[in-house]
Amino acid sequence: MPAMTYQLLKMAHVAAVVAWIVGSLFVSLFLLSSQPQDGDDAPKERKMLGALRRWTLWVTTPAMVVSWLIGLHLAMTFGWFAMNWIWIKVGCALALSALLGIQSAALRRMANGSPKRPPAVDFYAPLTVVACAVIVTLVVVKPF
C-alpha cells in the first residue's frame, strides 16, 4: 500500500473514531443528566432528545461503521491480526459498539415516554474513556 494511501486511511479512521466517541460521550452525558419531566422543561428536553437521536442515527452510528471498516481493512492489510494487542483493541471496540447500541435503545425508550432510568448509566462515560485510553495505548505502544 502506498504511504499516502495509508496516511489517508489512518486519518479517516481517526476522524471517524473521534466522531463516534464524542457522539457516544454526549449521549452518555445526556442520559445521565436527563430526567423524565412533564413540567415547563419537558418540551426543551424532548427537542434535545429528538436532535440527539437524529445525530446518533446520521453521524455517530455511521462513524462507528466507518471506523470498523477502515480499521479492519488496515489490520488485514498489515497482518496485525497475528499480534496480540489487536485482539484487545478489537475487544474494547466491540464493547464501545455494544455501548452505543445500549445508548441508542435508551434514547428510543426515552422518546417513547419511558420514565425508567437506563441501567448502569453512571458507568457509560467512564467506560468509554477507559476503553479509549486502552485502545490508544495499545495502538501507540503495541506492547505484544
Q: What is the pLDDT of residues 4-32, one digit of tens each?
A: 999 999 999 999 999 999 999 999 999 99
This prediction has a pTM of 0.92
**Of 78, 82, 85, nearest to 3 (Cα)?**
78
pLDDT of residue 1: 80
| SS3 assignment, position 50 | helix
Residue 37 has pLDDT above 70, yes or no: no
**Cell numbers for 114:** 419511558
Q: Kindly report, residue by residue over 54-69, the tens digit of the pLDDT.
A: 999 999 999 999 999 9
DSSP-derived secondary structure letter, 117: P
pLDDT of the residue at 46: 82
Which value, to the nearest 10 degrees, does the dihedral of the CA atoms of residues 114, 23, 130, 87 take? 100
